Amino acid sequence: MVVSVNVLMILFVYFLGEQTYVRFLLSVVYVLYLPGYSLVEFITTFEKSIKGVEKIAYSFGLSIVVVILFCFLLNYSPWGIRLTPLIIGISLFTMICMLVATIRKYKTLFKPI
């Protein structure tokens, strides 16, 4: 899901380009849900009790934290708050978090008893 939303977002932003309601909805998920979701996935490798609607609520909260802090970083960086640094930053963050979470989950799964 994370990979496909990332790919779709990049497609919409750089190749399809137009302002559509699909892009609008996708960007809401991409900014307000995905960063937090990937972080929650990472956290659930330690804290297994988070699930269901609770996961959605925490994903939203953590997304706000991640995106706002990232915007503050960009604000004081030479790049500023622009489209490309935002896309690169959010995509990289979500992919890395998911990768680490997946590796940790597989390690736990195949742990020798």
Partner 1 sequence: MKRLESLTYIGLLAVLVLGAYIRFIPILETGTEWLADLDPYRNLRAVNEVISNCRMPLFDNLSAAPNGTYATYSTSQGYYMLSSALTLISGSSASLFLSFSPVIYEVALLLVVYVFGTEVANSRWAGLFAAFFVAIPRGWAMISLIGTCPLAENLGAVVFPLVLLLFWKCTVQKRKSFLLFSGLLLGISLLIHPVTYFYLVITIFVYVVLMCIIKRHGRMLVIGLEVLVISFFAVLIQFFSIRDFGYLSSFTHGALWLASLQPVYPVIDFYVVFYEVGGLVLFLSLMAFILVFLDRKWNYLILASCSIVMFGIIAMSLVVSLRPLLANVPFGAFIILSHRVMMPYLPLVLSLLGGIFVAEYLLPWVRTDNKLKCQISFKKAVAAFVLIIVFIAVSLPSIQSSLEYSANYKWASWAKKYAPLFKWAKDNTNASDVFILNEISLGEVVKTIAKRPIVFTLSYQDLVTPNLVKRMWLQSSVFIKGYDENLAQRLLYEFNVSYVIVIKNQSNLDILNKKYVFPAPDDSFPLYLQWMDSKEYLERIYSDLNLGFYVYFVHRDRLFNGEISLPEVEP
Please report, as ranges, the residues that interact with partner 1 according to CB under 8 A. 9, 12-13, 17-19, 23-24, 27-28, 30-32, 43, 46-47, 53-54, 56-58, 60-62, 64-65, 67-69, 71-72, 75, 79-83, 86-87
User: At closest approach, how far in Å is the CB of 96 from partner 1?
Assistant: 18
* Distance separating alpha carbons of residues 103 and 106, to the nearest angstrom: 5
Q: Which amino acid is at 10?
A: I
CA dist list (Å): 37 to 76, 81, 113? 26, 23, 30
Token representation of residue 52: 């269901």
User: At closest approach, how far in Å is the CB of 7 from partner 1?
Assistant: 14
Buried b (16+ CB within 10 A) or exposed e, 67-86: beebeeebeeeeeeeeeebb
Residue number with CB closer to partner 1 (32 or 100): 32
User: At closest approach, how far in Å is the CB of 27 from partner 1?
Assistant: 4
User: At closest approach, how far in Å is the CB of 49 from partner 1?
Assistant: 8
Residue number with CB closer to partner 1 (26 or 98): 26
Radius of gyration of the chain (CA): 15
Residue number with CB closer to partner 1 (79 or 110): 79
